[in-house]
Amino acid sequence: MASRQNPKPMTIDEGSVHIDPAVNKLKRILEGKPEPDFLPGEYIGNYTTIYNMCIQKPPHDQSQELYDKYGGIFEDYAKHTVLPSIMEKHDEYMLRELSRRWDINKIMVRWLSRFFFYLDRYFTVRRSLPSLTEVGMTSFRDHVYNNVHFNVKQVIIALVHKEREGQQIDRALLKNVLDLFVENGMGSIKRYEDDFEDFFLQESASYYSRRSSRWIQEDSCPEYMIKAEESLKKEKERVAHYLHSGTEPKLVDIVQTHLLVLVAKQLLEKENSGCSALLRDDKTDDLSRMYRLYHAIPKGLEPVAAAFRLHVTAEGNALIKQAEDAATSGSVEEQVLVRKIIDLHDKYMAYVMDCFQNDTLFHKALKEAFEIFCNKKVAGSSSAELLATFCDNLFRKAGNDKSNDDSTIESTIDNVVKLLDYISDKDLFVEFYRKKLARRLLFGRFNDDHERSILTKLKGQFGGQFTSKMEGMVTDMQLAKDHQTGFEEHIKNLPKGVDFTVTVLTTGFWPSYKTSDLNLPVEMVNCIESFKAYYAIKTNHKRLMWIYSLGTCNLTGRFDSKPIELIVSTYQAAVLCAFNNTDILTYQELLEQVNLSHEDLVRVLHSLSCAKYKFLNKQPASKTISKTDTFEFNSKFTDKMRRIKVCMRKFKKKKKEKTKLIMIVVKQVPLPPVDDRKKVVEDVDKDRRYAIDASLVRIMKSRKVLPHQQLVSECVEQLSRMFKPDIKMIKKRIEDLITRDYLERDTENPSTFKYVA
C-alpha cells in the first residue's frame, strides 16, 4: 500500500518515465531547438525522482541502475547523434561541428550530473567508481573523440599549411578544437601529443625543410636570414594563438634545425653574401641578425666567431703587409701603422659590443686575431719596438706642441695599453720604451702628466713590477730639479765659476751608459768638485758616476773677427779647451791630454776639423783623421751666426737631433738604430734567461718533485705576463740548473725532476 511515508519503491523503468522526457528536453535545448527552459520545479522534480530511487531500501535501491542509465544516456547520444553529425561533415565544417558538440557535451554533463547528483554523494564514492562528470566526459572521448581525432588532425594540419602559405584561417576555431584535444587527455597531455602534436611537428619539419632548400638556392644570406627570422616569429605567434604552449620549444627547435642548423655551412659561407662578405661590407644589421638567430642554437655561433676571427686576422695582416711594403730603407712608418691598428681594434670591438652583444666567444675571437698579427715583425722590427717608438713620438710631439688635446692623448694611451695586451714580448716593449724614455727625459721637453699617466695605466694593467724602473726614472727628473735648486743655493755664496747644471740619475732605473776617463778642462773640474762636495753633504753613501758622453757645453770661441758661441758636446769642449794653452797640437798630444779612446777622439776631431765648421785646421787637410795629423786653432774662423750648434757624427750617419742648452746631461746624437735594436734584444734575452731560471727554481722549490711536461707548462704560465718563453730555452735552463746542482733527475724516472735543497 503506497503512502507518503512509504511510497512504493520505483523501478528504473518507472523512473525512466520521468527522467527520459527531461533528458530529451535538455537535448533539444542544447541543440538549439525551440524549447522552453527548465522551470525550477521541473529541475527539482528531476532531482527528487532520482534521489528517491537512490534512497529506496535495498533491494530496491536503484543506484546502480541509475548509474548505468546515466552512462547509457551519454553513450547513446554520442553514438547515435553526436558522432554521425560530425562525421557527415568535412573540413572546417567538421571542426565546427566537433567544437559545437563538445560544448554541448560539457553543458549536458553539467546538467545531467546535477539531476543525478545524489549518485555522486554516496554511490560513486562508496563503490570507488568514476564520478558522473568523469563518466560524461569519458563517454565523449571514447565514443566521439577517439573516432574523429584522426580526420580532425588532418584538417587542422591542412589549415595550418594554408595559413603558412599566407591565407587567413579561423584561429579561434583551431584554438577550441586543440583545447578539446588537450582536455580529452583527462589530465595528461599525452592525447594532444600523440593525436596531434607529433604529426604537426613532422609536417612542420618537412615544410621547413622544403622551404630552406628552395631559399638557400635562391636567396642571398641576408635575405635568407630575414626569412628565417620572420618564420620563427610567425611560428611563435601561432603557438600563442592556438597551439598548446608546450609545443613552442619543440616547434622552435624544428624550425631552427631546418632553417639554420642544417644549412649553416652553406649559409655562412655563401659567396658574396655570407659571413665574411658581411664583415667585409660592414653590414652590421645583417650581422646582428645572424647573431640573434644563431645565439639560440647550442654551438651555433662557433662558425660565425671563427669567420669573424679569420676576417679580423686577414685585415690585420693586410695592414702589416702594407706597412712592410711602404717601409723605405728599413724604417717603418709606425705612426701610421699603429694608428691603423688602433682604428681596426676600435672598429671591430664595436662589432663585438653591438652586433655580437658583448658575447665572450667574440671577445675571444677578436683577441686571438689580434694576437696573431700583432706579434708579426714588420721589416725587421718587432711590434714591441714599433709600439714603443709610437709612444715616443706621441709624447715628443705632445711635449713640444701644447695644442695637442689632452683627452685625445689620454685615449690614445688607453689604446696603446690595450694593444700591448696582445703583444707577447711585453718585456721587449719595456726595454725599448725605457731607452726612449731616457732620451725624452734627458734631452727633450717632456710632459710629466702624460708620462705619469701612461705609467699608471700600464701599472694597472700589468702590475707594479712592470713599470717600477720607468717610474723611478720619471721621479729622478723631479728629484734632479730639487738637487739643482739646492746646489745653486749652495754655490751662491762661492766665487762665480762656470754655470753648471747636473741631473742625477739612479742607476738601475736607467739604461746603462758607458763612462770614460775624460780629462776635463780645469774650469769644469772645479764644477765637478763643488757639486761632489754639495752632494756628499746632502746624501750618504752614494757614489757619483759621471757620464760625460751625454753632456753639452756652451763655449765662447774668441775668433779674430768676432766671438761666436759654440754649443758642443763635453768631449768636443775638452778637445777645444786644450787649445787654450797652445795653438798647435798633434794627434798624439791631444790623445794624451784629453784621454779619450781612439774611436771617440777621431770622431770629435772630425767634427771640429773636417765637417761643416772648421774650428781647427788640420795638417794634412784630408777628409779623414789619421794618427799623424796636427791640429791648429783656426782663429780665422767666422760665420754670420753668433751661435753655432755642432753635432757629432757617429760612423753611420743618421738624422741629427737638436741639442739643448742644459749642461752636462743633454741629448747626444742617437746611436744607429740597428745596433741599438740588437743590443736591446740581447739585453732582453739575457733578462729572460734569468727570469726563466728564477721561475724554474721557484716552482721546483715549492713542488719538490715534478715531471718535465708539467714543469715546462707551469713555467710558461708563470712568465706569460711578460713574454712567451721559448721551450728550447727552458729546456736549456733546466739542464743548466742540473749542472749547477739546483735540480736533479729522478733515478727511477729520468723525465721527472727533483729539487736539490
Binding site for other proteins (CB under 8 A): 707-709, 728, 731-732, 735, 738-739, 745, 750-753
With H, G, I as helix, E, B as strand and everything else as coil, classify residue 566. strand
By beta-carbon proximity to other proteins, the closer residue of 131 and 751 is 751
Cα separation values, 722 from 203, 424, 451, 466, Å: 59, 7, 21, 8
CB within 8 Å of 394: residues ≥ 6 apart? 409, 412
CB of 458 to other proteins, least distance (A): 35
How many angstroms separate the CA atoms of 610 and 598, rounded? 17
By beta-carbon proximity to other proteins, the closer residue of 377 and 708 is 708
With H, G, I as helix, E, B as strand and everything else as coil, classify residue 565. strand
CB of 717 to other proteins, least distance (A): 17
By beta-carbon proximity to other proteins, the closer residue of 488 and 735 is 735
CB within 8 Å of 481: residues ≥ 6 apart? none
How many angstroms separate the CA atoms of 61 and 66, rounded? 9
Q: Got the DSSP string for 671-728?
A: PPHHHHHHHHHHHHHHHHHHHHHHHHHHHHHHHSEEEHHHHHHHHHHHHTTT----HH
CB within 8 Å of 653: residues ≥ 6 apart? none
CB of 307 to other proteins, least distance (A): 32
The neighbouring-strand residues paired with 556 are 565
By beta-carbon proximity to other proteins, the closer residue of 597 and 749 is 749
CB of 697 to other proteins, least distance (A): 17
How many angstroms separate the CA atoms of 362 and 375, rounded? 20
How many angstroms separate the CA atoms of 579 and 656, rounded? 27
Place of cell 615544410: 207
CB of 325 to other proteins, least distance (A): 34
CB of 370 to other proteins, least distance (A): 28
CB of 629 to other proteins, least distance (A): 43
How many angstroms separate the CA atoms of 617 and 620, rounded? 9
CB of 751 to other proteins, least distance (A): 4
> Identity (one letter) of the amino acid at 113?
S
By beta-carbon proximity to other proteins, the closer residue of 495 and 750 is 750
> Identity (one letter) of the amino acid at 743?
L
By beta-carbon proximity to other proteins, the closer residue of 233 and 740 is 740
How many angstroms separate the CA atoms of 432 and 447, rounded? 19
By beta-carbon proximity to other proteins, the closer residue of 587 and 753 is 753
159-190 core/surface letters (b: 16 or more CB in 10 A; e: else): bbeebbeeeebeeebbebbbebbbbbeeeeee
Place of cell 779612446: 597
By beta-carbon proximity to other proteins, the closer residue of 558 and 731 is 731
CB of 712 to other proteins, least distance (A): 9
Cα separation values, 684 from 373, 678, 695, 719, Å: 22, 10, 16, 14
CB of 709 to other proteins, least distance (A): 7
Q: What are φ and ψ of residue 27, in 5° steps?
A: -60, -45
CB of 703 to other proteins, least distance (A): 15
By beta-carbon proximity to other proteins, the closer residue of 175 and 745 is 745
CB of 755 to other proteins, least distance (A): 15
By beta-carbon proximity to other proteins, the closer residue of 515 and 751 is 751
With H, G, I as helix, E, B as strand and everything else as coil, classify residue 378. strand
By beta-carbon proximity to other proteins, the closer residue of 240 and 729 is 729
By beta-carbon proximity to other proteins, the closer residue of 623 and 728 is 728
Contact 650, 603 (CB under 8 A): yes
How many angstroms separate the CA atoms of 526 and 519, rounded? 12
By beta-carbon proximity to other proteins, the closer residue of 561 and 709 is 709
CB of 754 to other proteins, least distance (A): 13
Estimate the crossing angle of helix 708-719 against helix 727-739, to 10 degrees.
110
Neighbouring C-alpha atoms within 13 Å toward the C-beta of 148: 32
> Identity (one letter) of the amino acid at 516?
S
By beta-carbon proximity to other proteins, the closer residue of 25 and 708 is 708
Contact 648, 603 (CB under 8 A): yes
By beta-carbon proximity to other proteins, the closer residue of 408 and 751 is 751
CB of 472 to other proteins, least distance (A): 37
With H, G, I as helix, E, B as strand and everything else as coil, classify residue 754. strand
CB of 375 to other proteins, least distance (A): 23
CB of 708 to other proteins, least distance (A): 3
By beta-carbon proximity to other proteins, the closer residue of 635 and 752 is 752
Contact 19, 46 (CB under 8 A): yes
How many angstroms separate the CA atoms of 671 and 654, rounded? 8
Name the DSSP letter for residue 557.
E
* 182, three cell numbers: 588537450
| Consecutive H or E run containing 567 | strand 563-569
Instruction: Choose among 55, 66, 23: nearest CA to 42.
Output: 23
By beta-carbon proximity to other proteins, the closer residue of 397 and 740 is 740
Name the DSSP letter for residue 583.
S
CB of 729 to other proteins, least distance (A): 9
C-alpha dihedral over 202, 206, 212, 218, to 10 degrees? -160
Instruction: Choose among 296, 232, 221, 299: nearest CA to 263.
Output: 221
CB of 702 to other proteins, least distance (A): 20
How many angstroms separate the CA atoms of 261 and 294, rounded? 8
By beta-carbon proximity to other proteins, the closer residue of 353 and 727 is 727
